[in-house]
Chains A and B, each alone.
Chain A
Amino acid sequence: MTDLLTPRAIGQSLVRRDGVDKVRGTATYAFETDVEHPAYCHPVQATIALGRVTAMDTAAAEALDGVLAVLTPFNAERLASTEDAEYAVLQSTEVAFRGQLIGLVVAETSELAREVADGITVTYAEQPHDSELRTDHPGLYAPEQVNAGHPTDTAEGDVDAAMAAAEVTVDHTYETQMLHNNPIEPHATTALWEDGSLTLWDSTQGVHPDRAAVCEVFGLDEERVRVVCPYVGGGFGSKGNPHANVMLVTMAARALPGRPVKLALTRQQMFFLTGYRTPTIQRMQLGADRRGRLSAIAIDVVEQTSKIKEFAEQTGVPARMMYASPNRRTTHRLAPLDVPIPSWMRAPGECPGMFGPEVAMDELAEALGMDPVQLRIANEPDVDPDTGKPWSSRHLVECLREGAQRFGWDSRGPGRRREGDWLVGHGMASSVYPTMRQATSTASIRFSGGRYVAEIGAADLGTGAWTVLPQIAADALGVDVADVDVAIGDTRYPTASVAGGSSGTNTWGSAIVQAAREFRGKYGTDPQDGDEASGDVDQAAMDDAHAAYAFGAQFAEARVNADTGEIRVPRLIGVFAAGRIINPRTARSQLIGGMTMGLSMALHEDSVFDTRIGQVANHDLADYHITVNADVGEIEAHWLDEHDPYVNVMGAKGIGEIGITGTAAAVVNAVHHATGVRVRSLPVTLDKVLAGLD
C-alpha cells in the first residue's frame, strides 16, 4: 500500500501540449524529418505465399538514371542475427508468406523507386501453401505459453461434469475476425548511416526497444545508434515492436553511407508487413443453476500464427478472472500457417477474449430469463478466481449499475421494439484490462533556468504523454505544472519501456515520481541551476499481493433497418473504474477512442483473407472499412472516482485499451435484442441478420 500523491496538477483537464503544433501541421513525423537530399525507398514484395525466389532481374533497374541501389536476397549484407525470422530481411531466398519483403529499390524520387520496384521481374519456385485457419487443422499445437507470459491452458474442477449437471447451459462457438491496425501515420522511417553511426527517425511506440532490436539484428553498439520519435500518428500496437521495414531501411542507409534514406510503407503494404490481430475461434461453455450462479466456465481458443514466428494471442485469459465459478477451463491452440506475422493490436487477448464470453453471458441470461446486468452481478468473485489474490480494487458492479442508470437500461423490455422502419435493441457487456507496469524505465529531472525538465525516452502515440507526464512530475515535485517541461521520444533520454499494455503512464510516471523524490532528497526545495537526479521504476513500490485490473461496463443501442438489415449504433455508453484519472480530457479521448474502435470491430472491420492466394483481399482503406464519423452517434465515457492504493503512487490504472474490450459483444447483444438474430461471428453485417428479418 502506498500513499497516493496529493493531486493538484493530476486530475486537471489540461489541453494537449502538442495539440497546436499538430493542428497546424508543424509537428514533425518520421517521414517528414528535414534531412538534406534524401533518397527514397520502395520495397519489392513476394507475390507467392510459399516457395523460393529463384531469380530477380535487376540489371535494367540498376542501370537506370536516378536509381541508387537495388537490394535483393542475392546482394544484401549478411545480418549479425537472423534469429527473429521477421527481421531477417533479404537473408534468404525463401518466401514464407505473400507480401514478404524480397527486395528494395532506393532512388532519387519516390515515384522512380516505386516504378522500378514494381517493374522488377521475379522468378519463383512456388509450393502449395496453407493459409486457412480451421479448428480441424492437423498442425494445431499448444504453444509453451501465450503472450504476456500467461500459461497456455488452465483448469480447475471438472467442467464436463459441471456442464452435465448444470440446470442451464450455453455451448456455442464464436468467431472474431482478422483485424489490421491502420494508424493514420503509416510505418515510416528516415534513416542516416554516417561515420559508423546510425540515426533512425522512426515512427515507433518505443525508441529504446526499437534501438535494441536494430542493434541486435545488425550487431551494432547501442551508443552508435540513436532513435528519435517525438510524435507518432497512432500505433495501437502495430509500432510496439519494429517490423521488417525498419530493418530494410536500415540496410538501405548502410548501403548508402552519408545519404539519408526514407521509407514509408503504403497503406496496402501495411496489410502484409505490420502485423494484425489473428482471427479467433472460441468455443464457449457456461453452466449455471436457475438463479444464474455459474458452475462452469470454459473457453477453448483456436487461432493462428505464422510458421516462421510464433505469436500466441492470449485470448482465453480474461475468462480466467472475470466471473466466479468452481469449475473452469481455458485452452489455446495455434494453427501454424503460411501467412503474414500476427502482432499486437489494441488490447491483445482481452479484446477478442471479451467477445465470446460476453456474448455467451447474454445467451445465458436469455436462457435463464434473467437481466444480463444482474447475471453478471450474481457472479461477482470476491477474489481473483485465477490467482486467488484479493483485488487491488474491483468496481465492476458499480460500473454496471451506473452504466445501466445512465443508459436507461431499465426501460429495455423484452425486445423487438420497432420505431418507424427501425428495430431497436439494447445490449451490454463488461470490460476489463489488466494494470501493468514494465520492469525498466528511468527518468531524470534537471533544474534549469528556473524550470524543471523531466527526461525519459517515452512515446506519445497521440495518447497524451506529452501532457500527462508533466502533471505527474509537477505533483511529485510539488510545483506548478506550468514550470515543468518534459522531453521524450529520443534514445538520448533515459531508457523507457514501450508504450504498450496500457502501461506507459504507470511505468514512466512511477519513474518520474522516483526521480522527483531523489531530486528533492538531494537538493531540497531550493535547487541550483543544473542540479539533476534520476529515478528508476524498479525503485518504486511494487505490489504483488493483489490482482490489479481496470473494469468497465458498456451499453449499446442498436438499430436495424427492418427492410435492409442495415445496422447503426446511435448510442454507446461506457462506465469505467480505472483508478485515478490523470487528465480527464486525454483520458476521455482514449476511452471513447477505444469504444469507437470496438464499434468498428463490431460492425465494420474485416480483413477478408483470400486463402487461395494467401493475402488480405480488401487491403486498402476503401475496402477495409473502419467506422467513420457518421457511424458514431452519442458516445459517452464516464468513470468512477476510484481510489486504488496498490497500483502506484499516482493511483492510476491504464486506460488506453480497456475501451475496446466488450464493445463488440455489447453491440452484438443489442442487435440480438433488436432482431432476435444471434450473430456469433464478427463483424455483424446486414447479410447476417437479413435472413432473420420478416
Chain B
Amino acid sequence: MKPFAYARPADVAEAVRDVAAEPNAVFLAGGTNLVDHLKLGVARPDLVVDVRTLTSADVSDLPDGGLRLGAASTNSEVAADRRVRERYPVLAQALLAGATGQLRNTATTGGNPLQRTRCVYFADVTTPCNKREPGSGCSAVGGYTRYHAVLGTTAALPDPTAPETCIATHPSDMAVALAALDAQVQVLGPAGERTIPFTELHRLPGDDPSRDTVLEHGELITAIDLPPLPAGTRSAYRKVRDRASYAYALVSVAAVLPPGGDVRIALGSVAHRPWRATRAEELLRGAELTDHSVRAAMDAELAGAQPQPGLGGGNGFKIPLVNRTVVATLRALTSEASA
C-alpha cells in the first residue's frame, strides 16, 4: 500500500478546501470500497480526507414531504428507517439487497453511489484499464464480460486499445433505486453548493472512462434528497444475481408506480451508470401495464443493446434477462396494487 497522509478536518468546508488544494486527494467515508482499492493499488492518493464524522448521519424530513439522507447515514440505518420503508420501499429493498450486514453497517449514503465498478480488470493493476490508467486500453473487451454493460456502449467488441473504450457497469444497488426515485444530490464544492439530479450524477464513459460522475475534484456529497411521492405509490427493487446473497447484480430493476400515474423504471448493472429506461417509460405512459405491453416497451428500450462476447459466453443473456425482470417486477407491483 502506498503511504498517504490522513486528515480529519474540523468541518466540511475545510475538508473541501483540503481536497481541492491537493490534486491527488480523496474523501474517505465508510472506507469499504476505498480501503480495498488502497490495498490493491487501484487508488494511490497522497492525501485521504476523512469526512465520515463531518457530514450529517441523520435521515430528516424535508418541508416538501420528502426525506433528506445525510451523507454519513449508513446503508443499514437508511434501510431500517420507518419512513424509508413505508414511503420508499424500493430504496430499503435495494440497500438490503447489497453487500452484507457488516458492510451495510459501515457503508454510507455518500459513499455507496460513488463506489467504483466491479470490473475485474479495473481491480487488477497488472492489466490494462482505461478507467484506472487512462489510455492503457480496456482488458474487458473480449474478456470476462459477465458483469459488463449492454447499454450505453458504442459497439459489441469496441476497440480494446482505444483510450475511450470502457464497457464497465456501475455496481451500486442503492443508486438504481435513487435513479428511479428522481433523488437530488446536495453537493458542496470549492465553488459553493449545488444540487445535481441523481439521474445526472453518473456519466457514460464518453471520451473519459476514468470519470464515473460529473462531480468535480473537491466536490463533496453532503446529502441526498428523496422527493415526496403521491400517497399510495408502490415501488420495488428486484435484483437478479448468481447467489442468493453477497453478490453483485447481474441485472436489477427499480420500479416506482404512483397510483394512476406513470411508471418509472431504472435498470442496474447494464450500463456505466444507473439506467433510466426513459424510452420504455415513454411507451408505457398512459398504457395499461400488462406482461405484453411491458415486454414490448422494454424491447424498444433494449433495441440498441450491445451484447459483449467474452469468456464463458459473454453477457448477451442480460438483454432478455433484464426485459424479463422488468416484466416480473411490474407484474408483482400491479398485482400488489390491485390486491
Contacts and interface: CB of A to CB of B under 8 A. Distances in A.
B277 interface: no
A618 B120 contact: yes
Main secondary structure of the interface of B (DSSP, over half): loop
Interface in B103-140: 118, 120-121, 123-127, 139
A687 B245 contact: no
Contacts of B39: 114
Contact of A687 (B321, B325, B327): B321
B321 A565 contact: yes
A630 B243 contact: yes
A53 to B, nearest CB: 15
Contact of B125 (A118, A603, A617, A618): A118
A625 B144 contact: no
Contact of A628 (B118, B240, B243, B311): B243
B123 A620 contact: yes
A685 interface: yes
A47 interface: yes
A156 interface: no
Given A563-B324, A617-B120, A690-B320, A115 B240 contact: no
A406 interface: no
B312 interface: yes
A8 B127 CA distance: 60
Contact of B242 (A611, A612, A617, A625): A625
B321 A47 contact: no
B243 A118 contact: no
Given A114-B1, A622-B118, A686-B250, A566 B240 contact: yes
Given A118-B125, A630-B243, A690 B120 contact: no
Given A564-B324, A565-B321, A628-B246, A617 B143 contact: yes
A572 B204 CA distance: 44
A495 B246 CA distance: 43
Contacts of A609: 311
Given A563-B327, A631-B244, A115 B2 contact: yes
Interface in A385-441: 421
A607 to B, nearest CB: 11
A21 interface: no
B260 interface: no
A438 to B, nearest CB: 37
A613 interface: yes
B339 to A, nearest CB: 14
A96 B216 CA distance: 45
Interface string A596-636: 00000001101011111100011110110101111100000
Contacts of B247: 625
Interface in A675-694: 685-687, 690-691
Interface residues of A, number: 38
A612 B240 CA distance: 29
A687 B313 contact: yes
Interface in B220-272: 240-248, 250
Main secondary structure of the interface of A (DSSP, over half): loop
Contacts of B312: 606, 608
A638 interface: no
Contacts of A617: 120-121, 143-144, 311
A564 B120 contact: no
B35 interface: no
B192 interface: no
Given A564-B321, A690-B321, A612 B243 contact: no
Contacts of B139: 613
Contacts of A619: 120, 124
Contact of A604 (B118, B243, B325): B243
A603 B243 CA distance: 8
Interface centre among B39, B120, B250, B328 (most CB of A within 10 A): B120
B226 to A, nearest CB: 28
B291 to A, nearest CB: 10
B311 A568 contact: no
A556 B308 CA distance: 34
Contacts of A115: 1-3
Given A564-B325, A687-B321, A690-B320, A604 B143 contact: no
A167 interface: no
B240 A564 contact: yes
Nearest to B331: A563
A111 B126 CA distance: 19
B123 to A, nearest CB: 7
A690 B325 contact: no
B47 to A, nearest CB: 17
B316 to A, nearest CB: 8
A421 B328 contact: yes
Interface in B1-17: 1-3
A82 B240 CA distance: 50
A562 B2 CA distance: 49
B120 A568 contact: no
Nearest to A612: B143
A606 B41 CA distance: 25
Given A115-B3, A623-B118, A610 B143 contact: yes
Nearest to A98: B126
Contacts of A686: 240, 242, 250, 317, 321
B100 to A, nearest CB: 9
A604 B242 contact: yes
A629 B245 contact: yes
A268 B246 CA distance: 18
Contacts of B190: none
B142 interface: yes
A111 B39 CA distance: 9
Contacts of B123: 620
B6 to A, nearest CB: 13
Contacts of B250: 686
B239 to A, nearest CB: 10
B244 A628 contact: yes
B242 A630 contact: no
Interface in A255-312: 268
Contacts of A613: 127, 139
A610 B144 CA distance: 7
Interface in B300-339: 311-313, 317, 320-321, 324-325, 327-328
Interface in A525-576: 563-566, 568
A622 to B, nearest CB: 7
B144 A608 contact: yes
B44 to A, nearest CB: 10
Contacts of A627: 243
B243 A625 contact: yes
Contacts of A618: 120, 144
Contacts of A565: 321
Nearest to B316: A687
A623 to B, nearest CB: 6
5 nearest CB pairs, A to B: A687-B317, A630-B245, A563-B328, A617-B144, A630-B244
Given A563-B328, A630-B243, A631-B245, 15 more contacts: A111-B1, A563-B324, A564-B324, A608-B144, A609-B311, A610-B143, A610-B144, A612-B142, A617-B121, A620-B123, A628-B244, A631-B244, A686-B242, A687-B313, A690-B321
Interface of A: 47, 111, 114-115, 118, 268, 421, 563-566, 568, 603-604, 606, 608-613, 617-620, 622-623, 625, 627-631, 685-687, 690-691
Interface of B: 1-3, 39, 41, 118, 120-121, 123-127, 139, 142-144, 146, 240-248, 250, 311-313, 317, 320-321, 324-325, 327-328
18 contacts: A114-B39, A563-B325, A563-B327, A564-B321, A566-B240, A566-B241, A568-B244, A603-B242, A604-B242, A606-B312, A609-B311, A618-B144, A619-B124, A631-B244, A686-B250, A686-B321, A687-B313, A690-B317
